[in-house]
Amino acid sequence: MSQPQPNVESIADTTKPNAGRMYDYFLGGNHNFEIDRQAAEQVKKLTPFATKAVRLQRWCLQDIAERLTTDLGFDIIIDFASGLPTQDHIHQVVPAGTTVIYSDADPITVAYGREILKDVPNTYYFQVDCSRPEKLLGHPEVIKIVQENRKVALVYWGVSAFLTEEVIKYISQYLYKWASPESYFVFQAQLAGFDPNDPALINILKVYKQIGTPMYIRSLEEYQQMISPWHPDKKGFISLLDWHGLDQSEMSKEEQNVFGPGGVGYGAYLVK
């Protein structure tokens, strides 16, 4: 397992738009700068569905938090590339006593995140590049929190399109070795199913490339190869539209064409 190089050069620079803070702007948050808002508006012009898509992603994340805890009984959730832990994030919907470990590479997101969580018990926020999961899982404070418990729920939601194929393979193999049997790895095959030749999508990809965070469009089959040796549970990969029951009729014809049947991609509960 060779360790890939991270792709986060723009992440600490407040003079450049940042994908995470743009995401916060799409969600209606106020942890973003003028430079982020301008870039986000460019994306919104190209596809008005962007705001809805980002909300859908967060709604699904809340569904995940509930299922992992209430249905599956996990009491530790380790979330990678978390973004801002605002009202609609994991800690808001889990039962009291659940430990939630958030992380992100963007130092500004981490600083805001810690501020938001300062009075919330059992929640933590670490600054870690998710391409190197060992940095979070091997962090002395995380070791203290998790102790010997390796039957945990690991979450990579809303970030895979920002990661190279080499990185996704590395993460999957690392987590599989690290976790105990019956652990869960919740993974979003972000943007899978998009038509890579769609002119609106091509323009969005240009915006993200310009701001230094290139995005990769892949098919679901390609993602499925990358997550080996994990296997989805019996429901398999589910489109985010089906996951949250969002009606396609809420989208214009043009939006349906760009986003295809997957909405914002597909998600799955991968089980060891």
Q: Which is nearer to ligand SAM, 137 or 181 (CB)?
A: 137
State whether residue 197 is helix, strand or coil.
Answer: coil
Of 64, 65, 117, 130, the residue at the interface with ligand SAM (CB under 6 A) is: 130
Binding segment toward ligand SAM, per CB under 6 A, in 17-25, 40-48, 67-75, 143-151: 17-25
Binding segment toward ligand SAM, per CB under 6 A, in 100-108, 204-212, 218-226, 249-257: 100-108
Q: Are 267 and 187 in contact (CB under 8 A)?
A: yes
Q: Which is nearer to ligand SAM, 105 or 189 (CB)?
A: 105
In the complex, least distance from residue 21 CB atom to ligand SAM, rounded to whole angstroms: 8
Which DSSP state fits 105?
S
Taking the C-alpha atoms of residue 60 and residue 79, their distance in angstroms, rounded to an integer, is 14
Task: Tell me the one-letter amino acid at 134.
Answer: E
Bond from prior residue into 229 cis (ω within 30 degrees of 0): yes
For the CA atoms of 125, 127, 129, 130, the dihedral, rounded to the nearest 10 degrees, stands at: 0
- Does residue 131 belong to the site contacting ligand SAM (CB under 6 A)? yes
In the complex, least distance from residue 57 CB atom to ligand SAM, rounded to whole angstroms: 5
Q: Return the structure tokens found at 89.
A: 């994030």
Residue 33 Cα distances to 25, 30, 52, 128, 162, angstroms: 9, 8, 21, 22, 21
Of 109, 160, 224, 239, the residue at the interface with ligand SAM (CB under 6 A) is: 109
- Does residue 23 belong to the site contacting ligand SAM (CB under 6 A)? yes
Contacts of 23 (CB under 8 A, 6+ apart): 54, 83, 158
Q: Which is nearer to ligand SAM, 158 or 193 (CB)?
A: 158
- List binders of ligand SAM among 150-189 (CB under 6 A): 157-159, 162
Token match 């976790």: residue? 179
Q: Where are the alpha helices (DSSP H) in 94-246?
A: 107-117, 133-137, 140-146, 165-178, 199-210, 220-226, 240-244
In the complex, least distance from residue 157 CB atom to ligand SAM, rounded to whole angstroms: 4
Of 50, 94, 106, 117, the residue at the interface with ligand SAM (CB under 6 A) is: 106
Q: Which is nearer to ligand SAM, 197 or 212 (CB)?
A: 212
Contacts of 202 (CB under 8 A, 6+ apart): 196
Q: Which is nearer to ligand SAM, 18 or 98 (CB)?
A: 18
182 strand-pairing partners: none
Which DSSP state fits 68?
I
Binding segment toward ligand SAM, per CB under 6 A, in 33-41, 55-63, 116-124, 141-149: 55-63
Q: Which is nearer to ligand SAM, 58 or 169 (CB)?
A: 58
In the complex, least distance from residue 42 CB atom to ligand SAM, rounded to whole angstroms: 16
- Residues of the shown chain interacting with ligand SAM in the complex, contacts defined by CB under 6 A: 6, 8, 19-20, 23, 57-58, 61, 81-83, 104-106, 109, 129-131, 157-159, 162
